[in-house]
Amino acid sequence: MTDPTPLKLLNREQAILEFNRRVLAQAQREDVPLLERLRYVCIVSSNLDEFFEVRFADMLEAVRDPLSAVTGQDVDRVGRAAHTLIDEQYLIFNEQLTPLLRKRRIVVLNHADRDEPQRHWVAKYFEREVRPLLVPVGLDPAHPFPQVANKSLHFIMRLSGKDAFGRDNRIAIVKVPRVLPRVIKLPANLSDGRQAFVLLTSVIRAHLEDLFPGRKVEAFSQFRVTRDSDLEVDEEEIANLRHALRSGLTTRHFGRAVRLEVVNTCPAELSEFLLEQFGLPNAALYRVNGPVNLVRLNELIDQTDAPPLRFTPFEPAWPTGRLPRHKSIFEKLKKGDVLLHHPFESFDPVVQMLREAVVDPEVLAIKQTIYRTGAKSELMDLLIEAARRGKEVMAVVELKARFDEEANINWAERLEAVGAQVVYGIVGYKTHAKLLLITRRENGKLRRYGHISTGNYNPKTARLYTDLGLLTADADLTADADSVFRQLASLGKFKALRRMLLAPFNMHSRMLELLAQVEAAALAGYKGARVVVKINALTDAELIHGLLRTAQAGAKVDLIVRGACMLPPGLPGISDNIVVRSVVGRFLEHTRVLYFRWAEGTEADPGEALFLSSADWMSRNMFRRIEVAWPVQDARLRQRVIDEALQPYLHDTMDAWQLGPDGRSARISDSGVSAQQALMRRYSEG
């Protein structure tokens, strides 16, 4: 079939902002507990920080490249959308959540709200905990504007009169110490039966003049600058990536400024002065009606004693029927694969398998990829212990996992210190595949056991993200995993694997082949031709056009895309056979499931294929990362994936949004069926 009718794809950055609009809508849902609604506001703030640090910074870089397709109009359009979203965020915080918290007797008291005993307590707290850490800087030729690190919070002030030396230097800067808590809970005896909090900025603001004896603070504002934080190193020109990144971490905090936040009462004189200092245009100024950096209100959520205002605790189930507790996981896997569905099922079996491998004298070697494990990790501690016990340990550590670089460098150094073999993947490619491989001696022969996952080796996020993982002793899959590890270490020529697909080599082309197979079936008149793809992002142009061709041939295409989607669905004659939905609920949707159907199943041809993958359908995943996808060939497991990870999401009417051709999303309903809640009930009831 010819290429589909040309169409303009949706803008990626605006698609990311649209996803955050969906997340922010969770803060307005009355069926979501109040503190969790506030947490969604914090999540959006955190997401927007990364958006400006990486995506928007990339746009600003691209617009200066004469060969780039990014225009100044694109930047302006995205900037306006960001302004609108942030204004909406503060409106929800001020006009909806704050009054509801107040009704629940949870209050944040500014200086004007505090009574005399509370002000006295705050003053003592300031003198004891805060003032010793403050360094007020009056600006003059000997005290130039200070280096301001990425996302660090400061005050800027205009002072009256002259300084102690008779000079007319009126501008001063005070940095808010990062080591201090940003939210402070007042003692119960001062709170009148409420849970009362003060913000650190409010404590400092109340005592600004104490920092400049003999002078008045005529005007002031909090401010925070966001900088380009993508860590760039020329991997072709360096001898040791770990050392280069360790060095680069120290300069990351002072990249090019991309956004300036001030409070909405900041005088124009001060905001213009700051814009000039950071070399920013007026469009980069964000005036906010409330605390600068709402992320810090997570501290209020954590300190508030109000269980009814949080989600009911959910304990992931242990897969008892398929994996009996306190028995050898290796023995169980000899009888068949075990599929784990997180967070509905526990991540503990993965930890237990590695723990069993560490103490088992018959286990000879352990290999694992490390992408995001966290600063504290039992899995990493177990790898270190395995190396200490003399086992062959290979760790593929991705040093460029964004914002986890320092933790991963630390793990790499600790593993090397005990004799583990540590490699950093392939120069120019991030290792994003999630693989664990254990080699064991059994009856004089070697046998492999593995774990493959759509998500990270992080037990904490495994309770918050939806993912699928496979524990297996399948000879083909484990041989493929071993080939991937050898590829990453030896850098040899790629040889097609038995069952797995491996990016950047053949995953993209195989996905296009499968789409073409469904397209051909639809053109031949097969009415059941179907594609269902569940991923986090869809931005690769070739895959988008492959989906369009398949849909235009008559196949039904359902896309469940959590985040950015550049395919505009519902365009008459172009994409009207494609439905794009996004599910935003209690857990972060992270599972990647790829389903293709081209015929009724026969013994010779199942007529369908289902893959699980670590990769989203983005060009970077397909061509600039090491990613795996693997087929689920066992009919029982394949049906379970369809029943749990696809069908419930296609019928979700509570947490689902549908994307329109203009790139805007609309909630399908605010009642009915929630896929996540249904899965929680299913696993809670055993």
| C-alpha–C-alpha distance, residues 45 and 226, integer Å | 12
pTM: 0.92
Strand, coil or helix: what is 391?
coil
Whether residues 489 and 553 share a domain: the answer is: no
Q: Are residues 396 and 452 in the same domain?
A: yes
Of 496, 511, 526, the last residue of a domain is: 496
| CA angle at 26 for the pair 458 and 563, rounded to the nearest 5° | 55
Of 617, 616, 624, 611, the closest CA to residue 504 belongs to 624
Same domain for 342 and 268: no
Tokens found for residue 682: 């299913």
Q: Which residue, chain included where needed, has tokens 């080591």?
A: 179
Q: Which of 431, 461, 496 is the last residue of a domain?
A: 496
- CB neighbours of 229 closer than 8 A, spacing ≥ 6? 53, 54, 57, 150, 252, 253, 255, 403
Is 136 inside any structural domain? yes
Query: Same domain, yes or no, for 269 and 393?
Result: no
- 661: cis peptide before it, omega within 30°? no
End-to-end CA distance of the chain: 48
Residue 432 a catalytic site member: yes
CA distances from 550 to 8, 192, 527, 598, 606 (A): 18, 65, 13, 11, 20
- Helix (H/G/I), strand (E/B), else coil: 564: coil
User: 3-class SS at 242?
Assistant: helix
Compute the distance between CA of residue 586 and CA of residue 567 in angstroms, rounded to an integer: 26
For residues 272 and 252, give the distance between their C-alpha atoms in angstroms, rounded to a whole number: 25
399 shares a domain with 283? no
| 643, 658: one domain | yes
580 and 668 housed in the same domain: yes
In this structure, is residue 534 part of a structural domain?
Answer: yes
Do 524 and 498 contact (CB within 8 A), yes or no?
no
Rounded to the nearest 5°, which phi and psi values hold at 17? -65, -35
Give residues with Cβ within 8 angstroms of 254, minimum separation 6. Answer: 147, 149, 150, 227
Which residues have C-beta within 8 Å of that of residue 232, sequence separation ≥ 6? 248
* Domain-located, residue 650: yes
Run means of pLDDT, 10 residues per run, the chain, 686 residues: 66 96 97 98 96 92 86 93 97 98 97 95 97 90 83 94 71 94 96 96 95 90 91 48 53 83 96 95 96 95 97 92 87 95 96 96 95 84 95 87 68 89 82 96 96 94 96 97 92 88 97 98 97 98 97 97 97 95 97 97 88 97 96 94 97 97 94 94 88
How many whole angstroms separate alpha carbon 522 and alpha carbon 172? Answer: 69
* Helices marked H in 32-97: 34-50, 57-63, 72-92
216: domain CATH number is 3.30.1840.10
Do residue 236 and residue 378 come from a single domain?
A: no
CATH for 552: 3.30.870.10
Distance CA 496, CA 17 (A): 38
State the DSSP H helix or E strand holding residue 331, giving kind and residue range, or none if neither. helix 329-333
- Which residue, chain included where needed, has tokens 């803008």? 11
Which uninterrupted H or E stretch holds 625?
A: strand 625-631
Domain count, the chain: 3
Same domain (yes/no): 144, 233: yes
Of 273, 373, 280, nearest in space to 52 by CA? 280
Per DSSP, helices labelled H in 158-240 are 200-205
CA pseudo-torsion sign 286, 291, 293, 294: negative
279-286 own/partner pairs: CB under 8 Å, 24+ apart: 283/76, 283/79, 284/79, 284/257, 284/258, 284/259, 284/260, 285/260, 286/82, 286/83, 286/86, 286/259, 286/260, 286/261, 286/262
Q: What angle do CA 658, 663, 666 make, to 5 degrees?
A: 30
Which of 154, 341, 432, 590 is catalytic? The answer is 432
Q: Please give the angle made by the CA atoms of 124, 130 and 133, to the nearest 5 degrees.
A: 145
- Amino acid identity for residue 573 in this structure: G
**324 domain residue, yes or no:** no
Residue with tokens 């920013």: 280
Task: Dig out the tokens for 232 from the structure.
Answer: 């760039």
Residues 6+ apart with CB under 8 A from 198: 108, 109, 110, 114, 118, 122, 183, 184, 186
Q: How far is it, in rounded angstroms, from Cα 567 to Cα 542?
A: 11
Q: Which residues pair with 436 in a beta bridge?
A: 368, 451
Is residue 322 domain-resident? Answer: no
Residues 6+ apart with CB under 8 A from 248: 231, 232, 233
Could you give the dihedral angle defined by the CA atoms of residues 438, 441, 447 and 453, in that order, rounded to the nearest 10 degrees? -10
Query: What gap in Å lies between CA 112 and CA 32, rounded to an integer?
Result: 31
- Listed in sequence order, the residues at least 6 apart from 358 whose beta carbon sits closer than 8 Å to its beta carbon are 366, 382, 385, 386, 389, 391
Domain boundary among 496, 525, 555: 496
pLDDT score for 248: 52
- 326 and 51 in contact (C-beta within 8 Å)? no
DSSP 11: P
- Which contiguous run of DSSP H or E holds residue 276? helix 268-278
Whether 49 and 170 share a structural domain: yes
Amino acid at 351: V
The Cα–Cα gap between 341 and 468 comes to 5
- Domain of 566 in residue numbering reads as 502-684
CA dihedral defined by 348, 351, 352, 353, rounded to 10 degrees?
130
Are 340 and 469 in contact by the 8 Å Cβ rule? The answer is yes
The answer to whether residue 575 sits within a structural domain is: yes
Q: Tokens 């698609």, residue?
A: 15
- Is 359 buried (19+), middle (13-18) or exposed (0-12) by CB count in 10 A? exposed
- 162, 238 contact by CB (below 8 A): no
Local structure of residue 429 (DSSP, 8 states): B
Question: Contact at 8 Å (CB) between 399 and 242?
Answer: yes
Evaluate whether residue 314 is within a structural domain: no
Domain check: are 150 and 27 in the same one? yes
**What DSSP designation does 618 have?**
S
Kindly state whether residue 379 falls inside one of the protein's structural domains. yes
Same domain for 432 and 359, yes or no, is yes
Please tell me the number of Cα atoms within 13 Å of 35 on its side-chain side. 20
